[in-house]
Structure 1
Amino acid sequence: MSDLAVFAPLLPRVEAIVREAGGIALDYFRPGAPTHAEVTHKSGGSPVTEADLRIDNFLRAQLSLLAPDFGWLSEETADSPDRLGRKALFVVDPIDGTRGFASGDPCFAVCVALVAGDRPVFGVVHAPALDETFVASVGGGARRNGAPIAVSTRRELTGARLSAPDSIASDLKRAGLSFRQQPRLPSLAMRLLRVADGALDAALARKNSYDWDIAAADLILHEAGGVLTDFSGQTPSYNRPEPRHPALVAGPPGLQAELIRAARGGAAGASPEARTAQAAPAPRP
C-alpha cells in the first residue's frame, strides 16, 4: 500500500478538526474592529494573540490523537529537530494573517498540511470568517466548499490580476510591466488560494515565508493546476532544518515563465530601499 493510500483516510477527520479550530478563532474575531483577544508580540515584532495559542494547543492535541507518530511544525510551537526523522508531520499555522485577524479583517485562515518526505500530501485551509474551506490531496484535485476549483488560463502578464507586497509591485512597474494590481491579502495562504480559485491570475511573496505559511496552500494551488516556485523556478521543499523560503511566485503554468522573468527583472531594478524591504524578516510575506 502506498503512503498516500495510508494518509488519505485521515483527511476528512483533519478537515473536521481544522473547521472546529476555525470556530475557536471566531470566538475572538470582531468584524471591522479589534479583537478582544489578548495581543502580544514576538521578538521579531510580529503579533500573536491568545486565539493563535489556543488554536495551536487544540490542533496539537487533536492531531496528535489522530496520528501520534507524526511530527509537528507550527508557527506557535518551539521547533524541534525530532520532526526531521519522522515519516510524516503536520505543518500548522493556527491563524495565518494574524495582523488582519487582530484588526477585524475577515481574510485569515487556519492552515494544516500533512508533509511526507519534502512535499505535502494533503492540505486544508479554512477561512472561518469568509465561510470558505479549501481542501486538496495529491492527485485528488482541489476543492473550495466541496466544489472543484482551477487556476486561470491566462498566458500573458499584461493586464493580469496580480497581488504582491507594494515594494515588489512597485519594482515590477518600474521595470515597465503593466498589470492590474490587486490588494495584498493579509493571509499569504489566502493570497495563493485566490490564484488557485482563479480570482487572481498571479501572486508574489517576499522572502522569509515559512513552511506553515505556504505548505497547505501550495498543494491546493498545485492540485488546482497552478505552480508555486521561487525566482529560479524551483518548487518549495518542506521539513528541512531551516523551514524558511525565498521570494515566491504563484500562477498558472502558462504564465509562470513570464512571471519569473518579470520578478527577476523587477528585483534586479529595485532601489536599495526596496531590496531591503523585500529581504527584511519582520513584515509578513
Structure 2
Amino acid sequence: MLEPDLALLVQAARQSGDIAKRYFRQDPDVTHKPHGAGPVTAADLAVNAMLENFLQAERPDYGWLSEETEDNAARLDTPRQFIIDPIDGTRAFIDGSKDWAHSLAVTENGIPVAAAIYLPMRDMMFAAAIGSGATLNDGPIRTSDPQIDDATILGAKPNFDARFWTNGALPPIKRAFRSSLAYRLCLAADGSFDGMITLRPSWEWDIAAGALIVQEAGATISDQHGAPLRFNNTYPQVPGVLAAGPRLHGDLLARLEPSGPKA
C-alpha cells in the first residue's frame, strides 16, 4: 500500500501546482488568521479544497490534518492520516518568490510512510516512501555530512541567538534561509545545504513530508532535544526540528542548550 500512496501524493501535488500557479503573482486575496497565525490566500484555500476532496475520496478511511481545515479529533482513531500543507511558504507566495511548496504526507502509527513536496515554479518534485530512499524528479538524493566547521545550516536568524547554545557559544557554521520549512528539509536532503534547524514549536503539516524525505536521504532528524519526531499528535506540534547528516546532527545537538534558551 505504500507505493500506491506515494503515487497518489505525487499526483495530488502536481494538481496542487496547477491550481496555485493560476493565482501566483496575480494579487490573490489575502486574509490574516486570528492570533497572529499568519496570512492565508485564495490559493491556499483553493488547493486545500481540491486536496481534501480528491485525497479523501481516494482514501476515505484515512484521517485528515491540514493547515487550512479545522482540526477534527476523529483523525486520532484512523489507521493512517494525510498531513497536508496546501502551500508552505505563503509569505513567499504573496511576495512573488518561487520558494513555496505543496507538502503532502501519509503517516501511520505516528511515522510518515509516504511523502511528496512539490515546488511548481521550480518544477522540483521531492518524494519518498519509507524504506525506499528519497528522490528529486525521480533521481536519488543523498544528504551531506561535513565537519561542523564546513557546514551551512538553513534556519531563521533567531535560531542562532547565543542564548540557544551552550555557554552562549554559537557553532562555527554558516547560515542560510528559505521561507518554506518543507523546502528547507528538502534542501538538506539533497545536499544543497548541510542541515536545517528551527527551535520554535513546529506544526506537523510544515514538516511531516520533509521529515521522511530527509530521513530517507540519510539524515538524522529529531526535535530540538534529540527525541524522534512523532506525528498525528492530539495537539499537532513538535518542539522544534533539527535535521542533518548523522555526525553533524550529533555535533549540533551537543551544542544546543538541553533545556532550551537561558533566561
Distance 1:206 1:53 in 2: 28
For residues 108-127 of structure 1, what are the structure 2 equivalents within 5 Å? 108-127=100-119
2:185 equivalent to 1:192: yes
Distance 2:73 2:93 in 1: 30
Give the conservation status (yes or no) of the 8 Å contact 1:165–1:206.
Answer: no
For residues 139-218 of structure 1, what are the structure 2 equivalents within 5 Å? 139-154=131-146, 156-171=147-162, 175-182=169-176, 184-218=177-211
SS in 1 for 2:68: coil
Q: Alpha-carbon deviation of 1:263?
A: 2.6
Q: Alpha-carbon deviation of 1:208?
A: 1.9
- The structure 1 segments of at least 4 consecutive aligned residues displaced by more than 3 Å after TM superposition are 265-269
Tell me the residue number matched to 2:14. Answer: 19
Distance 2:12 2:240 in 1: 31
SS in 2 for 1:233: coil
TM-score normalized by structure 1? 0.87
Question: How well do the aligned residues superpose, as a CA RMSD in angstroms?
Answer: 1.7
SS in 2 for 1:158: helix
SS in 2 for 1:264: coil
Q: Which moved more, 1:199-208 or 1:84-93?
A: 199-208
SS in 1 for 2:153: strand
Q: Which moved more, 1:10-19 or 1:185-194?
A: 10-19
Q: Alpha-carbon deviation of 1:265?
A: 7.1
Cα deviation digits, residues 251-279 of structure 1 (max 9, x gap):
0011111111223279545xx5xxxxxxx
Give the conservation status (yes or no) of the 8 Å contact 2:13–2:102.
Answer: yes
Counterpart of 1:159 in structure 2: which amino acid? D
Tell me the residue number matched to 1:275. Answer: none
Tell me the residue number matched to 2:51. Answer: 59
Distance 2:97 2:224 in 1: 30
2:254 equivalent to 1:228: no
Distance 1:120 1:203 in 2: 19
Report the identity percentage: 35
Tell me the residue number matched to 1:42. Answer: 33
Distance 1:9 1:178 in 2: 43
Cα deviation digits, residues 4-48 of structure 1 (max 9, x gap):
xx2322321321121111111111112xxxx51100000022000
Distance 1:13 1:23 in 2: 16
The correspondence for 1:105, drawn from 97, 101, 112, is 97
Q: Alpha-carbon deviation of 1:79?
A: 0.3
Distance 1:119 1:60 in 2: 21
Segments of 5+ residues of structure 1 without an aligned counterpart are 1-5, 273-285
Distance 2:52 2:221 in 1: 27
TM-score normalized by structure 2? 0.94
Counterpart of 2:195 in structure 1: which amino acid? A
